Structure 1
């Protein structure tokens, strides 16, 4: 009889499931979840990695049958679900499998894995190490038809993961549970799909497809980091002026990088002001969960206020980026009580405050 232990890796559970139908069915009843699912597709193999807890990965590497070493005398078959793999090699927590068609074999294997690991997937990541083709596109789309993957809330698709606009649209249609999307694929400048701009959290680059119209009318994320756009600073000022006039209660955090500069920027019409400790805290939680920093120093940011409810937002500028934080809770330090060591003070030269710009302009005028 199968007994699930907390320290069991996914490979141990998988191997137990192959012993009998009874054990397989018993494993399914536990609704075992996956903390991290990583799929890597390369020119000669597919690598599937699953972890129940952080970094405790087991891996399945699927090769084409023709790649079996000719010196392998004893080829041993293994049946996984209803799929026969003509040969396998066990290497610790890794299992190499050989199938007539590695893509078909990998898809059948995934179907079986997500039948026995029937709980939710916390994070899914996809790496395509080959030139995107229709074959690789269909493979990813077929994976997204698996219920566990459809319902995954946190997804990363790395470079070369998308081969066309239609593929991206189909993935967004299938990903019914998607809340946080980290997209690192190049898409055509004319690509449009409002679904991507309504997720809770969006991280994407390059994003040359993201326009001023998207910023002003379509963007409806809670948190977004949109990189390598073709926007100008005028778009960011228009966004802030519009934010002051709207009743948007969803946006919390926005950062956008762009191929341009801040020459000519001014805060006219924004009623901007410097930080006042009575109005808000000096630091805000980093809602994009950047490695190494859980809080963002906003002491040197510039504040603006929304007209109808008085909610504050802070913005700051770096050389080629715009940053905007809404203070739904003006005193998050008191609310969350972080370790004071996390509140790392950022250097003043990381920010281009409005007052610094004005000082520079005055100096230039004096020189003239």
Structure 2
């Protein structure tokens, strides 16, 4: 049996085709189609699964509870997806609306069926909770991460509203075997700790009251990290730089930390900081925490420190944030050849004033 998929076919079109027969489903599965973007959203009365295979051109599966279905609907007709039976479905444009007695059970069944069809990799997974998270929502997210395909996803964003379950977060981190990049927007108790989160290639966390000075000095092992709303103060940043100078860490590339404080207790003692020397490095550094090919950071006006092994780093201070980059390649402009329009004019950003330092 011949079956071909063209670029115009949406994920929903492909899913509908897969239900024609077991032979067609198997043919589609054998194509190893990647999921470019998976977005799962939780709201008060429905779960929304958004799936794209080309960029951000999503197909949408919306799963409601039966209490949202009008009993006098003359067009009620059962539909089976995977191992779940839905009492009614409505297809509108590129959206499929489904009704199940338990929206989380129904959504998990849809998701598992989609993974049987789209057997390639998930390039980017995102999880959004638009309401205060309940135990049902936490259990659902953990169930999603029990799917092998989600566990192997390298890039994940978890965005939750309200107070999150630290048990849920621990379970997700333990299940996410392939995770390399995490954008983590979940408020957690100050005493929460999980070492895996500090060993990823890329970490964005907001808020980060749980991140301690000990984490910064002894546990952080990311390539790039952005930790927002920490309880640190400027003395922790100086201690970090002094320790970086003494060690041989070759993994760290970029670090940004925001805090609720000031720089009055900061001084340069022991850092041997120096101004930019154009002969030693380029004046711009790629923004590794932004999107690929995004703007570059102007480092002409920042301070440098150097280790005995020759590794060079730059740091700068803004009113309530600390920024640190390591020059593994001292001439990235020549290496990466960015568009000049991408170079950020950092000189227009307000820096912490040296006049505020306690010299």
TM-score normalized by the length of structure 1 = 0.94
Task: Quote how far apart the aligned CAs of 1:255 are.
Answer: 0.3
- Residue 134 to residue 38, structure 1, CA distance change in 2 (3 Å): same
Which range is displaced more, 16-25 or 80-89? 80-89
Find the counterpart in structure 1 of residue 164 from structure 2: 163
TM-score normalized by the length of structure 2 = 0.96
For structure 1, the residue ranges without an aligned partner over 5 or more in a row are: none
- Residue 291 to residue 3, structure 1, CA distance change in 2 (3 Å): closer
Task: Quote how far apart the aligned CAs of 1:166 are.
Answer: 1.5
CA contact (8 A) 1:230 1:258 kept: yes
Find the counterpart in structure 1 of residue 269 from structure 2: 268
**2: CA distance, partners of 1:344 / 1:126:** 31
Find the counterpart in structure 2 of residue 8 from structure 1: 9
CA contact (8 A) 1:297 1:343 kept: yes
**2: CA distance, partners of 1:114 / 1:147:** 9
Find the counterpart in structure 2 of residue 29 from structure 1: 30
**Mapping for residues 1-368 of structure 1, pairs under 5 Å:** 1-160=2-161, 163-289=164-290, 293-307=294-308, 309-352=309-352, 357=354
* Deviations 1:259-278, CA, capped at 9 Å, x for gaps: 10001311111000000000
CA contact (8 A) 1:156 1:181 kept: yes
For structure 2, the residue ranges without an aligned partner over 5 or more in a row are: none
- Residue 348 to residue 75, structure 1, CA distance change in 2 (3 Å): closer
- Residue 292 to residue 339, structure 1, CA distance change in 2 (3 Å): closer
* Deviations 1:190-222, CA, capped at 9 Å, x for gaps: 001110000000000110010000000000000
Task: Quote how far apart the aligned CAs of 1:348 are.
Answer: 4.7
Tell me how many residue pairs correspond in the alignment: 358
Which range is displaced more, 173-182 or 163-172? 163-172
**1: CA distance, partners of 2:24 / 2:357:** 74
**1: CA distance, partners of 2:171 / 2:133:** 16
CA contact (8 A) 1:137 1:162 kept: no
* Deviations 1:215-240, CA, capped at 9 Å, x for gaps: 00000000000000000100000000
CA contact (8 A) 1:300 1:351 kept: no
- Residue 159 to residue 361, structure 1, CA distance change in 2 (3 Å): closer
